[in-house]
């Protein structure tokens, strides 16, 4: 870790300068040698870095939305090359290249803040070793070494020896307890953030390589943090726990306000929007009107969640307009009811086994009775026909006495000249 941190030594001076500036502010309130002053300085460093990374976060959201737009095409590729995984991957990569979409863009914030993380690790490691670094002079170095967070020195580690921890005026037990709790909280927050993303904000109808990577990250990253956390100073654990909590809150905001189409989060969001729209009869917020506008513009390409939202508006007597507003409509209710009745006709209620057997037996009985009736009727007709033949006015053998080649039945009289 020290070797990796030394690669980012060029940024240690700015990081140490920012920490010292925050320390001056908090030191005036809590005291310059307290853990609150140094701990809050590290937390403020995290907040400042994450604010600077907001443009990257916006780029990440846009890239994620591009991935969502491509999902129908990706699903078509999966169905077309279902038996050829290699060709499927090649077509996916080709689609990403043509549309300029990067499936790994979600890693941009992590990669961008990595230099700051390693620079802070380098600063705190130098403090633990009693070395000056950046703008931290001898006075600040001694103040930082005396700072304790819940009884654990700022520069202490879980794996430090008892003698080294004693030199920082602390006990090994308190350091191990504090660092263990912080490591568990850091790993749990990372796992919860990834799990929240995978279970609530992903369209599960389309499986992509990106989803598999996210699923792997959900389990691998927390384990990595646990293994690496035992070698982090307390100050670095404060930094990483703070950034994980920030990421978790940021992710919750995105899921609640800008969910992925077709996900559970979108279903919850549209249900809340439907409830408020039906209660007030209008879509108040501009951002919500944009959501309705996009749904209306999709037309027949809407997913099941969006169709459910439109049908809910129709049942309430409202119709969504292309500009995102809603208006009262009497035909919307009829169309919704008609669609519901059609669905009912298309999906008859399933009968029990006893009822199906009874119906089959009744049909067999009716068919047998019909056959008996038809046979009886045909016999009666045959008998009537045989009884009617002698009364036709012609002898019964007249037909057999007809000459060969002569047409049966009444004959036309011959012309007098041919007699």
pLDDT band of residue 43 (cuts 50, 70, 90) is very high
Residues contacting 310, CB < 8 A, separation 6+: 295, 302, 320
- Name beta bridge partners: 153: 148
pLDDT band of residue 403 (cuts 50, 70, 90) is very low
Which pLDDT score is estimated for 14? Answer: 87
Interval 329-339 mean pLDDT: 55
CA distance 205 to 71: 9
| Phi, psi of 386, rounded to the nearest 5 degrees | -70, -35
Q: Above 50 in pLDDT, residue 390?
A: no
**What is the tens place of the pLDDT at every residue in 242-284?**
988 998 888 888 888 878 777 888 888 899 999 999 998 888 8
User: What mean pLDDT, rounded, does the chain reach?
Assistant: 76
Percent of the chain's residues with pLDDT above 70: 68
Which pLDDT score is estimated for 397? Answer: 46
Which pLDDT score is estimated for 346? Answer: 47
Cβ count near 64 (within 10 Å):
19
**Chain centre distance of CA 342:** 30
Q: Above 50 in pLDDT, residue 394?
A: no
Residues contacting 4, CB < 8 A, separation 6+: 118
> What is this structure's pTM?
0.66
Contact 122, 8 (CB under 8 A): yes
Interval 56-84 mean pLDDT: 74
pLDDT band of residue 369 (cuts 50, 70, 90) is low
CA distance 181 to 186: 9
Which pLDDT score is estimated for 223? Answer: 85
pLDDT band of residue 69 (cuts 50, 70, 90) is low
């Amino acid at each position: 870790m020290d070797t990796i941190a030394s690669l980012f030594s060029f940024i240690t001076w700015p990081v140490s300068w920012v920490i010292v500036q925050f320390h001056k502010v908090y030191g005036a309130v809590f005291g310059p040698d307290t853990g609150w002053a140094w701990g809050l300085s590290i937390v403020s460093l995290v907040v400042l870095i994450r604010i600077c990374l907001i443009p990257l976060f916006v780029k990440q959201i846009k890239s994620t939305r591009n991935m969502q737009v491509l999902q129908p095409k990706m699903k078509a590729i999966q169905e077309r090359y279902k038996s050829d995984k290699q060709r499927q991957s090649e077509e996916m990569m080709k689609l990403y290249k043509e549309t300029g979409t990067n499936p790994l863009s979600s890693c941009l914030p992590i990669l961008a803040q990595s230099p700051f993380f390693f620079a802070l690790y380098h600063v705190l490691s130098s403090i633990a070793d009693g070395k000056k670094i950046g703008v931290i002079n001898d006075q600040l170095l001694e103040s930082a070494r005396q700072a304790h967070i819940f009884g654990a020195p700022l520069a202490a580690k879980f794996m430090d020896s008892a003698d080294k921890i004693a030199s920082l005026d602390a006990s090994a037990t308190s350091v191990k307890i504090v660092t263990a709790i912080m490591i568990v909280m850091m790993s749990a927050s990372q796992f919860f953030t990834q799990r929240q993303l995978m279970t609530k904000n992903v369209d599960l109808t389309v499986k992509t390589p990106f989803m598999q990577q996210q699923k792997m990250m959900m389990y691998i990253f927390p384990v990595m943090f646990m293994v690496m956390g035992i070698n982090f100073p307390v100050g670095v654990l404060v930094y990483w726990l703070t950034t994980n909590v920030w990421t978790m809150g940021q992710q919750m905001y995105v899921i609640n306000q800008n969910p992925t189409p077709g996900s559970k989060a979108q279903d919850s969001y549209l249900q809340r929007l439907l409830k408020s729209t039906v209660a007030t009869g209008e879509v108040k917020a501009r951002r919500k009107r944009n959501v309705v506008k996009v749904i209306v513009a999709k037309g027949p390409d809407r997913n099941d969640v969006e169709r459910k939202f439109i049908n809910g508006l129709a049942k309430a007597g409202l119709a969504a307009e292309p500009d995102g507003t809603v208006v009262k409509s009497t035909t919307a209710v009829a169309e919704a009811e008609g669609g519901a009745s059609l669905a009912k006709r298309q999906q008859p209620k399933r009968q029990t086994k006893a009822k199906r057997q009874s119906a089959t037996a009744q049909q067999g009985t009716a068919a047998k009775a019909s056959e008996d009736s038809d046979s009886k009727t045909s016999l009666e007709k045959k008998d009537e026909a045989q009884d009617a033949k002698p009364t036709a006015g012609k002898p019964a053998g007249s037909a057999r006495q007809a000459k060969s080649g002569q047409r049966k039945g009444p004959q036309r009289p011959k012309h007098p000249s041919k007699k």
